C-alpha cells in the first residue's frame, strides 16, 4: 500500500484526504534527523511544513520516496537539488496562503506608516504619547513591488484599493499582465527612485539574494517605508539599520530575517522598526488551506501521476494525465531506443514534435524522453532528474515543433549525435521516430527509414545491407539458438541499400548469438534492446 509520512502538524481534514484516497499515513512530528533517516525508507511520500528538514542525508536514505510535499510556499528546509538527483518530486502550495501573506504585508505597511506598535506600547504604559507619533498616509503614494507573482499581485490589488500607484519590478511579469493588474512595469533602479514604500514578494535565489543591498537602498527616497514579508536574505539588514538610524529610511517592518528564529538581530531596537515572527502565513484559513492542498496534490501524484506546483518537475493536471500518458510512454521508449544504440555516448539531443502532439503540454513528454535516453548510460534516471542530469553533463539539447505531420496525426522523433570513435572518423546521428496508434506506442522510423514495429520487451536490432538471403540466415541462426521470434519488422532505404530489422524475441539470447549475427556478411551493427 502507498504510504505517506506526515512529519509536521497537518490538520485532521488533510489526514482524512489521504485516508479517503486509499493512502496510508503515519504522523511522526518532531523526529530527529537520525530518526527520520531510520524510518524514511518505508514511505512513498513525505509531507512537511517548515520544521522537518529533509536534507541530502535524509534524501539519500529515502530509497522508496517519490514525492515531498511542503504545506506552504517556502522550501528552504528541503534540499531540492538532492531530491531532483534522486528523482523525487518536490511540490509546495503557493496559493493556499497567498491572501494571508498579502494581507500581512499591507498590515505591516500600515503599522510602519502609523507607528502602531510603539504607540500601543506607550499608551498601555500610561504615557499617552499622542504628540510623539505623526504618521503618513498610504493613499496616493507610490508602492514599489519587488516581485509581482501570486502574492505580489494580491498586494497590488489591495494597494490599488487604497488609491496607491503601484510600480513593479519582476523579470517574469509580462506587459499584458501588468496592464491587467493596473501596475506599471519598471526596472529596479526606476522603482528604487520612485517608490515611497517598497514591499518584497520574491523567493530567495542566487539572483535575488541581497537584492536590496546597501548600494540599492542608498538610491531610495528619503523617508522610505520598507516591508519584507517574503524571505530573509533579500535585504541587507545591517544597511537597513544604518539607514533607519540616519533617518533615510522612515520606517521598516520585517516578518522574516536572515537567521530564524531571530532571537537577536541588528534591526531590533531600531527607531520606527516593526517586527513579527514569520507570521505571513499564520492564519487559521491559510494553515488549513495549505494542509488540504498538499494532501490533494500528493495523493493525485501518487495515484494518477498528476503533478501540481512542483519545483523540479513540469506540471501535469489530473485532466491532462490520461491524454499525456501514451505520449509519455512513447517518448520514454524512443529515448531508450536512442540511448541503447548510442554505445559511445552522445554530444547532442534533439526532440522533434509533429502534428497534434505539438499542441499538448510537452514538458513532461520531453522529460520522459530524456530519461529514456539517459537510462542506458546513467542507470537510475527518471523524469524528475533527467533534465538536470543532461544539463550537468554538458550535452546540447534542443526541441522543435511543427504543427503538421505529413503521414501521422502525431509524431515524435528523437535524434542523438554520437561522437567520433576509433572505428569512425566522423560523428553521426541516430534518429528514431514513433507515434501512438490505438493508445499504444509504435516505432515508425529508424535512421530516416520507414519501419512500423512494436516495442517488445526484448528486441534484436540489426542494421544491415539489403542483400538476398540475409533474413533466411538470420532466422536459421536464431532457430539454432532456440530463440523464438515474436515479431519481425523490416525497413530499408532502397534495394541493395541500408536496411533495418527489428525482431521481437521471447527471451534474451546468449551474447554469443548476437556476436554471430554481428559477424554475418552485410551486417553493420546488431544489438539486443530492452524496453
For the annotated catalytic residues, the residue numbers are 231, 260, 278
Q: Which residue has the cell 529610511?
A: 249
The DSSP secondary-structure symbol of 126 reads: T
Q: How far apart, in Å, are the Cα atoms of 247 and each of 112, 224, 243, 250?
A: 14, 9, 6, 6
Spatial CA neighbour of 374 closest among 415, 338, 421: 338
Residue 462 grid coordinates: 540489426
Number of Cα atoms under 13 Å in the Cβ half of residue 289:
17
What are φ and ψ of residue 466, in 5° steps?
-70, 100
Please say whether the beta carbons of 326 and 440 come within 8 A: yes
Non-local CB neighbours of 390 within 8 Å, separated by 6+ positions: 349, 370, 373, 374, 397
How far is the C-alpha of 184 from the C-alpha of 225, rounded, in Å?
19
| Alpha-carbon gap, residue 94 to 178, rounded angstroms | 20
Alpha-carbon distance of 375 to 362, in angstroms, equals: 20
Please report, for residues 461, 501, 515, 528, the alpha-carbon distance to residue 505 in angstroms, rounded to integers and kept in the order given.
Answer: 11, 12, 16, 9
What's the CA gap between 232 and 210, in Å, rounded?
9
What is the C-alpha R_g of the chain? 30
φ, ψ of residue 218 to 5 degrees: the values are -70, -15
Q: How many Cβ atoms are within 10 Å of 152's Cβ, its own excluded?
A: 28
Amino acid at each position: 500500500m502507498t504510504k505517506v509520512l506526515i512529519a509536521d502538524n497537518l490538520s485532521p481534514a488533510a489526514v482524512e484526504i489521504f485516508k479517503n484516497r486509499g493512502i496510508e499515513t503515519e504522523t511522526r512530528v518532531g523526529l530527529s534527523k537520525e530518526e527520520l533517516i531510520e524510518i524514511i525508507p518505508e514511505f512513498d511520500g513525505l509531507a512537511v511544513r517548515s520544521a522537518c528538514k529533509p536534507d541530502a542525508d535524509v534524501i539519500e536514505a529515502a530509497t522508496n520516496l517519490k514525492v515531498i510535499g511542503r504545506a506552504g510556499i517556502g522550501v528552504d528546509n528541503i534540499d531540492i537539488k538532492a531530491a531532483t538527483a534522486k528523482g523525487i518530486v518536490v511540490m509546495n502550495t503557493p496559493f493556499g496562503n497567498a491572501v494571508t501573506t498579502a494581507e500581512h504585508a499591507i498590515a505591516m505597511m500600515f503599522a510602519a506608516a502609523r507607528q502602531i506598535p510603539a504607540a500601543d506600547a506607550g499608551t498601555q504604559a500610561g504615557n499617552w504619547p499622542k504628540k510623539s507619533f505623526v504618521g503618513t498616509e498610504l493613499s496616493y503614494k507610490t508602492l514599489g513591488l519587488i516581485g509581482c507573482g501570486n502574492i505580489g499581485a494580491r498586494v497590488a490589488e489591495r494597494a490599488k484599493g487604497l488609491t496607491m500607484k503601484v510600480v513593479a519590478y519582476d523579470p517574469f511579469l509580462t506587459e499584458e499582465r501588468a496592464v491587467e493588474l493596473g501596475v506599471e512595469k519598471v526596472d529596479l533602479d526606476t522603482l528604487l527612485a520612485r517608490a515611497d514604500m517598497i514591499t518584497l514578494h520574491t523567493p530567495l535565489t542566487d539572483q535575488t539574494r541581497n537584492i536590496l543591498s546597501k548600494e540599492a537602498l542608498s538610491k531610495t527616497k528619503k523617508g522610505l517605508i520598507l516591508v519584507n514579508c517574503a524571505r530573509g536574505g533579500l535585504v541587507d539588514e545591517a544597511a537597513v539599520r544604518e539607514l533607519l538610524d540616519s533617518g533615510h529610511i522612515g520606517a521598516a517592518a520585517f516578518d522574516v530575517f536572515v537567521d530564524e528564529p531571530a532571537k537577536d538581530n541588528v534591526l531590533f531596537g531600531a527607531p520606527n522598526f516593526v517586527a513579527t515572527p514569520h507570521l505571513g502565513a499564520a492564519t487559521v484559513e491559510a494553515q488549513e488551506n495549505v494542509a488540504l492542498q498538499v494532501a490533494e496534490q500528493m495523493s493525485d501524484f501518487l495515484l494518477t501521476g498528476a503533478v501540481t506546483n512542483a519545483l523540479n518537475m513540469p506540471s501535469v493536471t489530473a485532466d491532462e494525465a490520461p491524454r499525456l500518458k501514451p505520449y509519455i510512454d512513447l517518448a520514454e521508449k524512443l529515448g531508450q531506443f536512442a540511448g541503447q544504440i548510442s554505445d559511445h555516448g552522445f554530444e547532442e539531443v534533439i526532440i522533434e514534435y509533429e502534428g497534434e502532439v505539438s499542441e499538448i503540454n510537452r514538458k513532461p513528454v520531453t522529460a520522459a524522453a530524456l530519461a529514456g535516453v539517459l537510462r542506458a548510460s546513467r542507470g537510475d534516471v527518471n523524469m524528475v532528474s533527467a533534465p538536470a542530469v543532461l544539463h550537468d553533463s554538458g550535452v546540447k539539447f534542443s526541441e522543435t515543433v511543427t504543427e503538421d505531420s505529413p503521414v501521422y496525426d502525431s509524431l515524435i522523433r528523437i535524434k542523438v549525435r554520437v561522437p567520433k570513435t576509433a572505428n569512425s572518423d566522423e560523428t553521426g546521428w541516430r534518429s528514431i521516430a514513433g507515434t501512438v496508434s490505438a493508445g499504444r506506442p509504435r516505432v515508425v522510423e529508424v535512421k530516416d527509414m520507414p519501419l512500423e514495429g512494436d516495442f517488445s520487451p526484448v528486441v534484436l536490432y540489426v542494421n544491415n545491407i539489403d542483400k538476398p538471403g540475409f533474413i533466411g540466415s538470420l532466422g536459421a541462426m536464431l532457430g539454432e539458438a532456440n530463440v523464438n521470434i515474436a515479431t519481425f519488422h523490416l525497413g530499408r532505404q532502397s534495394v541493395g541499400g541500408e536496411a533495418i530489422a527489428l525482431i521481437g524475441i521471447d527471451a534474451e539470447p546468449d551474447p554469443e548469438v548476437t556476436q554471430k549475427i554481428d559477424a554475418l556478411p552485410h551486417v553493420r551493427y546488431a544489438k539486443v534492446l530492452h524496453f
